[in-house]
Structure 1
Amino acid sequence: MPQHASAGRGSISVDHLPPDLTRELYRHMRTARDLDTEAIALQRQGVFPAYVSVRGQEAAQVGSATALDPDRDFVFPTYREMAAAQAHGVDMVDYMASHRALWHGGLYDVAASRFGAVNAVVGGPVPHAVGWAVGERLRGDDGVALAYFGDGASSEGDVHESMNFAGVYGAPVVFFCQNNQWALSVPNDRQVAGGSISARAQGYGMPGVLVDGNDAGAVHAATAEAVARARRGEGPTLIEALTYRVEPHSTSDDPGRYRDGAETERWLRRDPVTLLREAILAAGHADENALAEADAAALQEARRIRDGVAAAPEPDGAELFTHVFRESTDELARQRRTWQEEVEL
């Protein structure tokens, strides 16, 4: 499998892509960018207890998610895949309810959406994706699993074991690493030996692809190729999308304590939304008026989602004890009685 272009170019090209695809990519990325801005504001207002921004990673997420078949494939996300959820067709009011801590992991239907629940375990979605993929083949179906994880998670044992298992058994999985340069406060050069995550793929008997994570078209092409390969029964692929986390790790983080602001400024000049917009105009896939309409529609959709999640009713507190175990235990029943007594005081 060929290596796709890595980060570092001043511009991108979409000449090789269908115009309707580039416009779809832009619509999803623009909506995610505006929703991200609204979500940060909700956290500052106390509506969300915490939030993790996706700003700067929209191309990596939207480019990969749109390469899947939402009726056959299944996504296993971390806690930062809001843009991927939006592009995959998840109900975003119900998805964003996760950040309000409403219900167990959100209000959307994970099975129907074919998009896993928010997973805050570092590397946690990866073994889940491999398990689902193996089960898919045992059922005789042709779905493909896509597992998102970060550069920090690539150092976790769960990720290594999952890739080795998938390589040995030829599981239909796309391992998608968003290398945003920082494992929270630890830079790549202090936790990735050899400087490349995709290079590790050879040891697991699968192709490794390094792609410019700020080039939505390149990400889409690399992911579509990996999905097609898995669907043909040719096994897993590891994709490393080189991008950058321009915002703090979360709303409780202060990146000024561990990274140089000049580095962030350099990456801001390669903003993926701006790059795609300029490429669409250069290719003649849309004009300024059409993109202005897309911008307005994206902002309206982001505000609709914002208002919907802010107004979502809080669940009954008794639901804290629902689905903890298949069958309740004496200890859980005791805790529920204690909670009820405190509520009734």
Structure 2
Amino acid sequence: MLVSEPAEPPIPDGLLLRIYRVAVLTRAVDHQLWLLSRQGRAGFVLTARGHEVAQIASAAAMRRGHDSAWCYYRDMGVGIALGVTPYEILLGGLARGADPHSGARQLTMHLSSPSLRIGSISSAIAAHIPHAVGAAYAARVRGEDSVAMCWFGDGAASEGATHEAMNLAGVHRLPVVFLCENNRLAISVPLALQMPVERVSDRASAYAMPGESVDGTDAEAVFTATRAAVERARGGGGPSLLELRVPRITPHSSQDDDAYRSAEQRAAAAAADPLPRLRETLIERGMLAVDEDERMVREAREQVVADEDLALAMPEPLPERARRWLYAGDPPHGGVTLPARYANWTGVFDG
């Protein structure tokens, strides 16, 4: 097991700023959904706050539209990084019939996009991890050089499906990268009561794959470690397990009061917020001016509020359509008219 803490890993010019820009937008969507939930207009909400920089930086190491993404319910940053628009996320969060990911059948942030190669998100913890391994196996059978990227939380690391999937990936040396977003809480259960080892990455050796623990609040470290794992998988070197150590700044969900954490623990999580850290890095390197940052944050909020207004104006799903697409037929992917500002939206990637 490796513990990676590089000071200044190499990263393509402009990418760090794009990661920050997408993180600011993700935070704005996250905040608005939380408000909508508190107002009773959006249902169950699970936020990405504290995770988003790690999500976006790791997604940036993929080949967009070529590699497949297998996410869990907190991975808003991955979705937006790959090209899902805030408008689509708000359509789902507000349960509008135009939601292109499930037609409002799924919970908030349960994405599914064939065009972006994002597999349907499952509410069942760890259910998507064997799917990611299946996608990696299919890529090998088809002779493709695509990599399956699979994100999950530390709670999922204790599920049997996770071990079965990693074991199969290790046996067949499949092109899959496992990324555990470890915030040290499986809802309310602390890491010490979930597993007897200090780091999730310690388990990698059981499956004969490299394991690396990375500071998930360091965008450069996350990108560098993920890029190496992706290149290894694409080159035939087999799977990897990356542990991204991140804070969970909010309660588990909009229906959780977070009473199991002390005020000191909640304050420590807030102090580890990766967004200010990345902002300061960019300003120190002359890649971002303070006034430019303020404008970016303001415009992101305005953009999300405008998307919210458009989504709220859309009709709710028709009851007679509730049973469509359950077993057969064309799924409700696509067909949504996006605001003009998203005509060339490519997420964190330089379109």
> Which interval holds the TM-score relative to the shorter structure?
0.7 to 0.9
Residue number in structure 1 paired with 2:338: none
Deviates more, 1:117-126 or 1:271-280: 117-126
Taking the aligned partners of 1:155 and 1:13, their CA distance within structure 2 comes to 31
- Contact 1:78 1:121 (C-alpha < 8 Å) held by counterparts: no
Structure 2 residue matching 1:55: 3-state secondary structure: coil
The counterpart of 1:253, out of the listed 251, 256, 274, is 256
Residue number in structure 1 paired with 2:38: 44
Taking the aligned partners of 2:168 and 2:114, their CA distance within structure 1 comes to 24
1:207-226 correspondence to structure 2 within 5 Å = 207-226=210-229
Residue number in structure 1 paired with 2:160: 157
Query: How far did 1:164 drift?
Result: 0.3
Taking the aligned partners of 1:271 and 1:13, their CA distance within structure 2 comes to 18
Query: How far did 1:209 drift?
Result: 0.8
Residue 52 of structure 2 corresponds to residue 81 of structure 1: no
> With structure 1 as the length reference, what TM-score do the two structures score?
0.87
> With structure 2 as the length reference, what TM-score do the two structures score?
0.86
- Contact 1:13 1:279 (C-alpha < 8 Å) held by counterparts: no
Residue number in structure 1 paired with 2:143: 140
Please list the CA deviations of residues 210-231 of structure 1 after superposition, one character each: whole Å capped at 9, or x if unmatched: 0001111111111111111111
Change (3 A) 1:19 1:43: same
- Contact 1:14 1:22 (C-alpha < 8 Å) held by counterparts: no
Taking the aligned partners of 1:63 and 1:90, their CA distance within structure 2 comes to 16
Change (3 A) 1:288 1:243: same
Residue 176 of structure 2 corresponds to residue 173 of structure 1: yes
The counterpart of 1:58, out of the listed 43, 52, 56, is 52
- Contact 2:247 2:272 (C-alpha < 8 Å) held by counterparts: no
Taking the aligned partners of 1:113 and 1:242, their CA distance within structure 2 comes to 26
Taking the aligned partners of 1:43 and 1:65, their CA distance within structure 2 comes to 27
Structure 1 residue matching 2:321: 3-state secondary structure: helix
Residue 231 of structure 2 corresponds to residue 233 of structure 1: no
The counterpart of 1:268, out of the listed 263, 267, 270, is 270
Structure 2 residue matching 1:211: 3-state secondary structure: strand
Counterpart of 1:213, as a letter, is G
The counterpart of 1:316, out of the listed 301, 306, 318, is 318
Change (3 A) 1:120 1:96: farther
Change (3 A) 1:33 1:251: same
Taking the aligned partners of 1:132 and 1:307, their CA distance within structure 2 comes to 37
The counterpart of 1:298, out of the listed 281, 300, 306, is 300
The counterpart of 1:280, out of the listed 279, 282, 286, is 282
Residue number in structure 2 paired with 1:203: 206
Taking the aligned partners of 1:35 and 1:15, their CA distance within structure 2 comes to 29
User: What is the percentage of aligned positions where both structures have the same residue?
Assistant: 36
Taking the aligned partners of 2:220 and 2:321, their CA distance within structure 1 comes to 43
Query: How far did 1:235 drift?
Result: 0.8
Query: How far did 1:271 drift?
Result: 1.2
Query: How far did 1:299 drift?
Result: 2.0
Residue number in structure 1 paired with 2:334: none
Structure 2 residue matching 1:110: 3-state secondary structure: coil
Deviates more, 1:90-99 or 1:171-180: 90-99
Query: How far did 1:56 drift?
Result: 1.0
Change (3 A) 1:305 1:144: farther
Structure 2 residue matching 1:53: 3-state secondary structure: coil
Residue 32 of structure 2 corresponds to residue 31 of structure 1: no
The counterpart of 1:100, out of the listed 70, 83, 94, is 94
Please list the CA deviations of residues 40-78 of structure 1 after superposition, one character each: whole Å capped at 9, or x if unmatched: 011112221110111111111111111111121111111
Change (3 A) 1:116 1:109: closer
Taking the aligned partners of 2:305 and 2:188, their CA distance within structure 1 comes to 32
More helix by share: 1
Aligned-pair Cα RMSD in Å? 2.0
Taking the aligned partners of 2:146 and 2:306, their CA distance within structure 1 comes to 32
